[in-house]
Amino acid sequence: MPRISAPTLVEHREKQRSALLGAARDLAAETEGRGVTFAAVASRAGLARSSVYEYFASPAVLLAHVVTDEMMGFADEIEREVEPVSDPAERVRAFVRTWLRYVADGRHRVVQAVLTSPMPEECIAAVGEMHERMARPLIGALHDLGVSDPARSADFIRGVVEATARRIQEGHPASRETADAEEFVLRGVGVAQ
């Protein structure tokens, strides 16, 4: 019987799965998604290559889990940063700031790299659900501001955030770009600053 490295088999399996996902996430970030093979992931995680097959059917499935786990963590972060704020205009500001901080600190690179790879159908659906979850706090804030079509306005705001993210990636100062995006968005929804 193989040795387990945790008090229970369930904890051992979760520890191994986390190690594999972490290794795949690091490799995806370093190689823009191209260097994620089972051999490379197993080597990086310090596990046998056969271990990867116990958890994931293919590299595409592994990468899909990397993306959905990363997006779930980011959705949690958006909720933590946005939902407790009482003023709806400040919730909109917090949404923009949180998203652009995620870009500025480089965590978005993993998702960006992996989303260019083919993904299993069920994972595409999970990514769509995560996008919807990330938008909910913004839509709620826009509703509370009295915006007539909060979902449509949220789409426009995400467009502004994506354009600002590209500027940050090009090397423009994140703090200035974020402040300008916040002001632009708030003016766009009728909140004078």
Give the CATH number of domain 1-56.
1.10.10.60
The topology (CATH level 3) of 58-188 is: Tetracycline Repressor; domain 2 (1.10.357)
How many residues does the structure list for the chain?
193
pLDDT tens digit string along 92-131?
A: 999 999 999 999 988 787 777 767 666 777 777 887 888 8
Identify which of 143, 146, 141, 119 has the alpha carbon closest to the alpha carbon of residue 130. Answer: 119
* Ranges in the chain annotated CATH 1.10.357.10: 58-188
Res 14 pLDDT > 60:
yes
* pLDDT bucket at 136, cuts 50 / 70 / 90: very high
Q: Which residues contact 7 (CB under 8 A, 6 or more apart)?
A: none
For residue 129, what pLDDT is reported? 86
Res 7 pLDDT > 60:
yes
Here the tokens at position 37 are: 């093979």
* Ranges in the chain annotated CATH 1.10.10.60: 1-56
Strand, helix or coil at 146? coil
For residue 5, what pLDDT is reported? 65
DSSP string, 163-181: HHHHHHHTT--HHHHHHHH
**What's the predicted TM-score (pTM) here?**
0.82
CA 106-35-102 angle, 5° bins: 10
Res 2 pLDDT > 60:
no
Interatomic CA distance for residues 190 and 146, integer angstroms: 10
